[in-house]
Amino acid sequence: MKKNDIIKLDIDAMSSQGSGIGRYEGLAVFVPMSAVGDSLRVKILKVKSNCAFGKIEEILTPSVTRCEPDCTAFSRCGGCVYRHISYGEELSIKQKAVEDAIKRIGKADLDAQPIVSNNKTYGYRNKAQYPISENYSVGFFASHSHRIVESEDCRLQPTIFADICEIFTMWAKESGNSVYSEETHKGLLRHLYIRKGEVTGEIMVCLVINGNSINSPETLVEALKDKLGDCFKTLVLNINKEKTNVILSDKCVNIYGDGYIYDILCGVKVRLSPLSFYQVNHDMAELLYKKAAEYAECDNKTVLDLYCGAGTIGLSMAQSAKKIIGVEIIRQAIDDARFNAENNQINNAEFICGDAKDAAKQLADKNIKPDVIVVDPPRKGCSSELLGTIANDFSPEKLVYVSCDPATLARDTNILNSFGYELKEYTPFDLFPRTAHCETVAKFTRKV
């Protein structure tokens, strides 16, 4: 088999990234937008020693799980990977992917609890970050590239986001502000960033710019006020002059409003700044946090919440816990967490700004011994040094791990086992329907 060959391929498995997998002459072939049960003609795009990659040339026999994609950007945009199959099939794929990772990489012979979903697959996101094209339209990057696929009306976003995109595009074309170019590092407008409070309806608009100011901000503010009314709370500039793929810098300038919005999560009123971490699927996040609290069993116990963001997980447990200690490296998020505790009259929570690993070590050196530790790390998971500090210096009764990547959760499961912590139960949560991502909450207990 070589590049540009056309082969017949039967799809019998799915990868964790949403590609179908078939075997040809013993070699695994990965095919995006295919489905288990498909019989296909596939054009080979790349051949490696242990696998190959191809694209569909013709569907000979479709899988019974196939459905008609309902988005014109699907297959071109780098977001959704499952719009061509039934949602029930998608949930089965994600359940299996999490279990396979835990068993194969984590070396834990334990089935997952049934995946949790509220079956809401449209308009569930409360945040969107749109790169801006040279003609001032917005969209999303194509898979594995920085080519912008224009898509102002994404099915995953609230419909009001499409209205904001339209207002922005009209303003941008007339304002005289230039568009940023990644190639030349010239131009001003980089990203349009929108955030919405699911319960409150409050909306933040943030422009990421390669400069210090924009032309005609008052015109944009008035257009947004006319369309959104009292829901529009703030317009913020994020100043990012770096030659980087990272969207946001740590410098924000308020143009209109106070620079933040409010939402309510698990009964806690939460203040959100542009840099605050906040789960993008509000309703599913509530279910996930309730499971984390169930696993933590934190009644009258001290809980250490690492990677705490705006404090949402810890504060949701504060009513029953003896004390909450949150740790987060982003200063603005810690400021929000402290404000959220005070604003909700939660007096048993304190927050530390610092790297999770370093802060955990400092607390251990002060002989602070939490009963339960909650970690909600980024996609790369926890460092082995941090896991060692948790296991050897703190030695909590329980560790609750909220993961956005089954592979790194599985890797850390194996490491934790070597440190004397056993995986007792884990539950997948579909916070990102139609995409390849899946969250998991896992409970570890100290071995006797």
Tens-level pLDDT at each residue, the chain (448 residues)? 899 999 999 999 999 889 999 999 999 999 999 999 999 999 999 999 999 999 999 999 999 999 999 998 888 888 899 999 999 999 999 999 999 999 999 999 999 999 999 999 999 999 999 999 999 999 898 877 788 888 878 999 999 999 999 999 999 999 999 999 999 999 999 999 999 999 999 999 999 999 999 999 999 999 999 999 999 999 999 999 999 989 999 999 999 999 999 999 999 999 999 998 889 999 999 999 999 999 999 999 999 999 998 899 999 999 999 999 999 998 888 999 999 999 999 999 999 999 888 888 888 888 888 999 999 999 999 999 999 999 998 999 999 999 999 999 999 999 999 999 999 999 999 999 999 999 999 999 999 7
pLDDT value for 166: 95
Domain identity same for 333 and 373: yes
Nearest to 46 by CA among 27, 64, 68: 27
Q: Which amino acid makes up residue 262?
A: Y
Task: With beta carbons less than 8 A apart as the criterion, state whether 296 and 318 touch.
Answer: no
Domain identity same for 140 and 210: yes
Domain identity same for 115 and 131: no
Structural element, H or E, at residue 422: strand 421-429
Distance CA 353, CA 372 (A): 20
Answer whether residue 272 is part of any domain.
Answer: no
Q: 345: left (phi > 0), else alpha (psi -120 to 50), else beta?
A: left
DSSP 3-state helix, strand, coil percentages of the chain (rounded to 5)?
Answer: 25, 30, 40
pLDDT value for 359: 86
DSSP state of 199: T
Strands (E), 197-333: 203-209, 232-239, 252-256, 261-265, 268-272, 302-306, 323-328
Distance CA 187, CA 174 (A): 15
pLDDT value for 114: 98
Answer whether residue 81 is part of any domain.
Answer: no
Structural domain that includes position 10: 6-66
Domain identity same for 55 and 113: no
Which residue, 265, 294, 312, sits at the end of a domain? Answer: 265
Strand duo 323-328 + 302-306: pairing? parallel
Which residues, at least 6 apart from 287, have a Cβ–Cβ distance to it below 8 Å?
116, 118, 429
Domain identity same for 315 and 228: no
Task: With beta carbons less than 8 A apart as the criterion, state whether 142 and 151 touch.
Answer: no
Strand partners, 303: 324, 372
Answer whether residue 1 is part of any domain.
Answer: no
Answer whether residue 304 is part of any domain.
Answer: yes
Q: What is the CATH number of the domain that holds 364?
A: 3.40.50.150
Which residue, 240, 265, 290, sits at the end of a domain? Answer: 265
Active-site pick, 154, 308, 382, 404: 404
pLDDT value for 304: 96
Q: Which amino acid makes up residue 371?
A: D
Q: How far apart are the first and last CA of the chain?
A: 54
Domain identity same for 161 and 293: no
Distance CA 306, CA 390 (A): 10
Strand partners, 24: 27
Which residue, 236, 265, 294, sits at the end of a domain? Answer: 265
Domain identity same for 20 and 55: yes
Domain identity same for 145 and 241: yes
Other beta carbons less than 10 A from residue 153's beta carbon: 14
Answer whether residue 239 is part of any domain.
Answer: yes
Q: What is the CATH number of the domain that holds 20?
A: 2.40.50.140
| Residues written for the chain | 448
pLDDT value for 332: 87
Answer whether residue 250 is part of any domain.
Answer: yes
Distance CA 182, CA 195 (A): 24
pLDDT value for 259: 96
Distance CA 18, CA 82 (A): 7
CA separation (Å) from 225 to 164, 203, 232, 265, 338? 11, 11, 6, 26, 30
* Known catalytic membership, residue 80: no
Domain identity same for 148 and 106: no
Domain identity same for 219 and 171: yes
Structural element, H or E, at residue 413: helix 406-418
Distance CA 376, CA 399 (A): 11
Number of domains making up the chain: 3
Domain identity same for 240 and 307: no
pLDDT value for 16: 86
Domain identity same for 96 and 210: no
Distance CA 8, CA 244 (A): 42
Answer whether residue 192 is part of any domain.
Answer: yes
Q: What is the CATH number of the domain that holds 164?
A: 2.40.50.1070
> In sequence order, which ranges of 127-216 are alpha helices (DSSP H)?
159-175
Answer whether residue 78 is part of any domain.
Answer: no
